[in-house]
Amino acid sequence: MANDAQTDRTPVEDADVCIVGAGPAGGIVAHRLAESGATVVVLEAGPRFDGDRREQLERHVRPGLGNPWEMGGPRDEFTSSGASFYPLNAARVKGVGGTTLHWQGMVMRLHERDFELASRHDTGVDWPISYSDLKPYYAEAERELGVAGAVDNPYAPPRDDPYPLPAFPPSHSDSLFADACERLEIDMHSVPNARNSEPYDGRSPCIGYGTCKPVCPSGAKYTAESHVEKAETAGARIVDQARVRRLEHDDSGDSVVAAVYTTPDGETHRQEAGQFVLACGGVENVRLLLLSASDQYPDGLANSSGTVGRYFMDHLFAGMGGRLDRPTRQNHVGFNTSETHQFYDDSDPVNGIKLEFLNYAGPSPVIDALHADTWGDELRDQLAESYGTHIAMGALVEQLPREDNYVTLDAETTDDLGDPVPEVHWSVDDQTKAALTRANEIQASVMDELGVDETWTVGPESTGPAFHHMGTTRMGDDHETSVVDADCRTHDLQNLWIAGSSVFPTGGAMNPTLTIAALAVRLAESVRTQVRN
């Protein structure tokens, strides 16, 4: 991390744009605006993780060395209510690069139906933009992230451009699934990945560490650090460990004038700017808007609709695995190389289902050995028995927007600065459980056809989130039912924009980062126009 004693965290004078959050959305917007000549400052709550990635990986695998991304403790307090516990800190990262520091790196476009759910299925809502509106920005996002993929998915939405990098070949375990799927008439196809299959954008190709989560030691997997570095090269100022605690607006309530933030030395500063972009995630975006309540906005900034924090969505996981009487080579690849969207658009119930053929189905021999209570020949025999014979499938299942899934403030619980922490009120409804059941049924048919001795299932009553926070500041044409417009500018304040998956009206069942990146590229164009004016 940066040396606090030598780091200048004072405000930037005459800033055109202040961005809160240095993840993929904030990084892309910062780079694009700084490159256009705007004076840009990025305020990031967490640190820079400048250490050797191999050392961070060692912290993960060795007992007692702690979380490499330093999440948890008083800074990251939260509460969970509702019928299902939401483990907020299990997967998020506060720091330069955001959650891309330890994400898996799968990057799919949403399908056309995801933008038209109400029109097509009379459920959820429609986006104020269509897939065709976002299609050129998806292509830009794939180039920005460096996506390796192939045009072999018959169920994918239309595209005009090839992927910038060739797809990764199917894994050994994918080949085991292939014959069974062919007999069941289930189509397998490649997975687009934001990791280099060959050198790209100054990063090495993947060399197969197999530890994509939580650390890619080779740097082949995209992280938003690359866009932050490009933004700095173009003149942007990145201020880490700058915890923004509220936004202040002018007397009229039409514009934000400053972001108030606290640094590790306990000093509080005001960063003024002409335009402000919130890019700190579906939970912290909400928290900051609610903490910024004022006389004009007693229910929170940009919340005249009352929908800030509402319609919180995540993807739910369904999975199944077991043992196969042949080598499966699980954990030789740390990411998915094959999946199927065959059951996505026509699923019953309507919730989208994306089925995955997992490459990390069983125990890791390294981690098992480090955590074992046995040694020598006994440990060797134990590992030989357990490793190399597991196989599994997973799935992401769509959760439709519901008003009673929401993020708010817990006034009874405060963080180390004395501010109320986020409260996540979340549950899994019966329709989503029915879709999870459907996913398990398809997985069971494949496992039975393959002859797998099933040993575990994650389904409707044991599911958990994929940690894709979506929907809490959703976009729409109607200011009474949404927070931002089609350009991701808030309805209430003319110079406040929101980037990231919190603006998604619906979430589909596709990993959200490519859509986050595409919207960030689009948002940067709109903000750039305002800066020039």
User: Do 325 and 389 contact (CB within 8 A), yes or no?
Assistant: yes
User: Do 318 and 459 contact (CB within 8 A), yes or no?
Assistant: yes
What parts of the chain have a pLDDT lower than 70?
Answer: 1-6, 59-66, 331-332, 361-374, 379-387
Report how far Cα 87 is from the mean position of its chain's Cα atoms.
15
Tokens at 48, concatenated: 């820079």
pLDDT at 357: 96
Q: What is the DSSP string of 290-351?
A: HHT--SS-TT-TT-TTS-TTBS-B-PEEEEEEEE-SS---TTSSSS--EEE-TTTTT-SSSS
Q: Tell me, letter by letter, the H, E, C secondary structure of 338-407.
A: EEECCCCCCCCCCCCEEEEECCCCCCCHHHHHHHCCCCHHHHHHHHHHHCCCEEEEEEEECCCCCCCCEE
Q: Count other C-beta atoms under 10 Å from residue 395's C-beta.
A: 27
The CA-atom distances, in angstroms, between 417 and each of 244, 270, 436 are: 11, 16, 40
Tokens at 1, concatenated: 């991390």
Dist. CA 527–CA 533, nearest whole Å: 10
The CA-atom distances, in angstroms, between 367 and each of 17, 323, 371 are: 45, 19, 6
Q: Which neighbouring-strand residues pair with 165?
A: 148
Q: Which of 272, 234, 279, 230 is nearest to 94 (CA)?
A: 279
Dist. CA 261–CA 43, nearest whole Å: 8
For the entire predicted model, the pTM comes to: 0.94
pLDDT at 446: 98
Q: Count other C-beta atoms under 10 Å from residue 21's C-beta.
A: 30
Query: In the chain, pLDDT over 70 holds for what percent of residues?
Result: 92
Q: Which neighbouring-strand residues pair with 42?
A: 19, 238
Q: With 0-12 CB in 10 A as exposed, 13-18 as middle and 19+ as buried, what is 246?
A: middle
Domain ranges for the chain: 1-74+93-147+209-281+468-533
Give ∠ CA 243-249-255 in degrees, rounded to 5.
Answer: 115
**Yes or no: domain 1-74+93-147+209-281+468-533 corresponds to CATH 3.50.50.60:** yes
pLDDT at 2: 44
User: Do 60 and 215 contact (CB within 8 A), yes or no?
Assistant: yes
User: Do 318 and 395 contact (CB within 8 A), yes or no?
Assistant: yes
Q: Kindly report, residue by residue over 364-408, the tens digit of the pLDDT.
A: 555 555 555 667 777 666 666 666 788 999 999 999 999 999 999
Report how far Cα 168 is from the mean position of its chain's Cα atoms.
22
Dist. CA 242–CA 329, nearest whole Å: 44
